[in-house]
Amino acid sequence: MLMSDPDVIGTATSFDDNGKPVVLLLVTSERARSAMPRSLEGTDVQVVLTEPIVAMKGRPGGGGGVSHTAIQTPPIQLGTSGGWRYDLANGYCCAGTLGSLIQVGGQKRILSNYHVFEADIVNGGNGRRAQTGDPVIQPGLIDINCNENSAQNVATLVVSGALPNANVDASTATIISGMVDPNGAILEIGTISSQTVGASVNQAVKKSGRTTGLTRSTVSGLNATISVSYENECAGSTVFTATFTGQILVANKRSKFLAGGDSGSLMVEDVSNNPRAVGLLFAGSNTIAVANPIDEVLSYFNASMVGN
Amino acid sequence: MIRRGIIFAAAVVLSTACTSDRVSDRESDRGSETMPTRDVMTVMDAHVAELMSLAGVAGVAVGELDGTPCIQVLVIELTEELRAAIPETLEGYPVDVQVTGEIRPL
């Protein structure tokens, strides 16, 4: 019934800030937004105004794109914009990429970066810190004009406290039932292998992320020691510099492989069917990108990749 | 991670100063050829602390240069001080200085 309005492009079940179930309606016009009921059979309705979800113009010879920033009709695929629901402080909002799905005991969790999910460690500019139980949203705040009400909750944060001491910039969020593809499919990559593979120099790799979408490159360096400085909240002040060892370096000329907002993307081998994971991308410059070796990330969470 | 201004929706400005060009104008090795006796990972491990302690060095890694193992030194910018302080070879392995700019969480 709801989908019969041409401006209603998606429906879903979700949860409001208090954890109460709601019906989520994705609409493309103010007219449709005001025409929607406030509740359906006793369940509150949350109406989200979004851009039409359209396939982006493809390039000759393949590479036909998919939006990595639009709100998706659940269950969502990964390689998409997302982040901590309250990641707004000091006049800015922040977000990154919901990269992949891992299995931790009986739970399926979204894998992204510490600095995407839980880097807010001071009350500072927004009066709050990231806590276990906070919602993780899709898309991230940067793609919805910093307005959390235009996003959907897809997972629940599990604070890792990985940095500054652990050697991984990693964090996870337990998926909300029905909101994330349980097979862990990634936009433009599809499902992956449950196995991993080590990095090697000149290895062909790819990733699917919020900003640059599906991109490819090659491994350029191994066993890297890299220093990276972190802020204590969105647009906050530098709080520590972490020195990572054993990292993977990837060619990133003019940030074509990895750019701001792609953090949290899973780097996989560049094969078409069920590629194996290689690393968790988290940092870089406009010449190189840096990934944590995926086996070290999985060991940290006592986890495995969700895949075939 | 990326951030955006609430009011002005400002684009993130990435550092623009550097390219990935390798330093190609270094003199080739002088004096006698050195044959490595230790593997490149071991050699890097032995020198990583001293290299990382140089101001302006963002990273150290193992890579390949023209198909042979090398030690990469990533620098924020190539100053005269760094050019003088970073050796051209380490225990027989070429040192590949790469200007990367600052490495940040993305």
What's the pTM? 0.79
Number of H helices, E strands in chain A: 3, 19
A287 to B101: CB separation less than 8 angstroms, yes or no: yes
Please give the mean pLDDT across all residues of chain A: 90
Calculate what percentage of chain A has a pLDDT beyond 90: 79
For residue A58, give how far its alpha carbon lies from the nearest alpha carbon of chain B (Å): 25
Domain membership of residue B29 as a residue range: 17-106
Three-class DSSP labels, A118-181: CCCCCCCCCCCCCCCCCEEEECCHHHCCCCHHHCEEEEEEECCCCCCCCCCCCEEEEECCCCEC
* Closest-CA distance of chain A to residue B75, Å: 11
- Is residue A90 a part of any domain in this protein? no
B28 contact partners, CB below 8 Å, separation of at least 6: none
Which of A 114-143 lie inside 8 A of B, CB atoms? 115-116, 119, 141-142
Q: Is B13 on the interface with A (CB under 8 A)?
A: no
Residue where the block lists tokens 């998706």: A72
What residues of B are in contact with residue A220 (Cβ under 8 Å)? 63, 72
Q: CATH code at B76? A: 3.30.300
B1 contact A CB<8A? yes
Is B53 domain-assigned? Answer: yes
Q: What is the DSSP string of A75-114?
A: SBPBSEEEEETT-EETTEEEEEEE-EEEEETTEEEEEE-H
Token pair recorded at residue A125? 């500019």
Lowest mean pLDDT among A4-18, A168-182, A219-233, B17-31: B17-31
pLDDT at B36 over 90: no
Asked whether residue B83 is assigned to any structural domain, the reply reads yes
Q: Is the pLDDT of residue A148 over 80?
A: yes
Amino acid at B27: E
| B2 is a domain residue | no
Q: Which of A196, A197, A193, A195 is nearest to A308 (CA)?
A: A193
SS3 A32: helix
B78–chain A Cβ distance below 8 A for any pair: no
**Tally of structural domains, chain B:** 1
In a domain, A178, yes or no: no
Prediction ipTM score: 0.77
Q: Identify the residue whose tokens are 């991670």.
A: B1
DSSP A200-249: -TT-EEEEEETTTEEEEEEEEEEEEEEEEEEESSTT--EEEEEEEEEEEE
Q: Is the model more confident about B29 or about A207?
A: A207
Phi first, then psi, for residue A25 (nearest 5°) are: -120, 130
Give per-residue pLDDT as tens, A117-130: 999 999 999 999 99
Residue A210 at interface with chain B, using a CB cutoff of 8 Å: yes
pLDDT at B4: 76
Predicted pLDDT of residue A46: 75
DSSP character at residue A302: T
Q: Which helix (H) or strand (E) holds B46?
A: helix B40-52
Contact A287 B98 (CB under 8 A): yes
Of B3, B7, B16, the CB nearest to A234: B3
Query: How many domains, chain A?
Result: 2
Mean of the pLDDT values across residues B65-87?
96
Model confidence over A166-206: pLDDT tens digits?
999 999 999 999 999 999 999 999 999 999 999 999 999 99
What tokens were used for A200?
Answer: 């090697």
Q: Is the pLDDT of residue A239 over 60?
A: yes
% of residues, chain B, pLDDT over 90? 64
Structural domain includes residue B10: no
* pLDDT band at A35; cut points 50, 70, 90: confident
In a domain, A32, yes or no: yes
Average confidence (pLDDT) over B73-94: 97
Q: Which of A285, A286, A288 to mutate to test the interface with B (most CBs of B within 10 A)?
A: A285
User: What are the phi and psi torsion angles at A39 (to 5°)?
Assistant: -150, 155
Of residues A228 and A37, the one with the higher pLDDT is A228
Q: Which domain covers residue A263, as residue numbers?
A: 204-294
Residue B54 Cα to chain centre, angstroms: 11
Residue B100 lies in a domain: yes
Give the angle B47-B52-B56 at the CA atoms, nearest 5°: 140
pLDDT at B13 over 60: no
- Report yes or no: B88 at the A interface, CB cutoff 8 Å: no
**A30 torsion bin: left (phi>0), alpha (psi -120 to 50), beta (else):** alpha
> Which token pair is A49?
């105004």
Residue A97 has pLDDT above 90, yes or no: yes
Per-residue pLDDT, A96: 97
One-letter amino acid at A186 equals I
Is residue B4 included in any domain, yes or no? no
Number of H helices and E strands in chain B, helices first, is 2, 6
Residue B106 is nearest to which of A92, A235, A260, comparing CB atoms? Answer: A260
- In this predicted structure, the answer to whether residue B27 has a pLDDT above a threshold of 70 is no
Please determine, for residue A101, whether its predicted confidence score (pLDDT) is greater than 50.
Answer: yes
Q: Do the domain assignments include residue B12?
A: no
Domain boundary among A51, A73, A92: A51
Q: Indicate which CATH number applies to the domain containing A208.
A: 2.40.10.10
Question: CA of A98, closest CA in chain B: separation in Å?
Answer: 11
The answer to whether the Cβ–Cβ distance between A290 and B103 falls below 8 Å is yes
State how far the Cα of A281 lies from the Cα of A270, in Å rounded to an integer. 15
Mean pLDDT of chain B: 81
Scan residues 19-58 of B and list those with Cβ closer than 8 Å to A. 19-20, 41, 44, 48, 52, 58
> Which tokens belong to A98?
């919901």
Q: What b/e readout covers A150-175, taking b as 16+ CB neighbours within 10 angstroms?
A: bbbbbbbbbbbebbeebbbbbbbbbb
Q: Which residues contact A226 (CB under 8 A, 6 or more apart)?
A: A243, A244, A247, A283, A290, B58, B59, B61, B74, B103
Q: Show the tokens assigned to A32.
A: 């449709």
Q: Say if B88 falls within a structural domain.
A: yes
Identify the pLDDT of residue A14.
65
Q: What is the count of residue pairs from A and B with beta carbons less than 8 Å apart?
A: 151
Looking at beta carbons, which residues of chain B come within 8 Å of A249? 59, 61, 63, 72
- Name the nearest CA neighbour of A270 among A203, A208, A190: A203
pLDDT over threshold 70, residue B23: no
**Chain A contact set for B64 (CB, 8 A):** 201-202
Does A302 reside within a domain? no
Least confidently predicted of A45-59, A147-161, A243-257, B23-37: A45-59
**pLDDT at residue A160 greater than cutoff 70:** yes
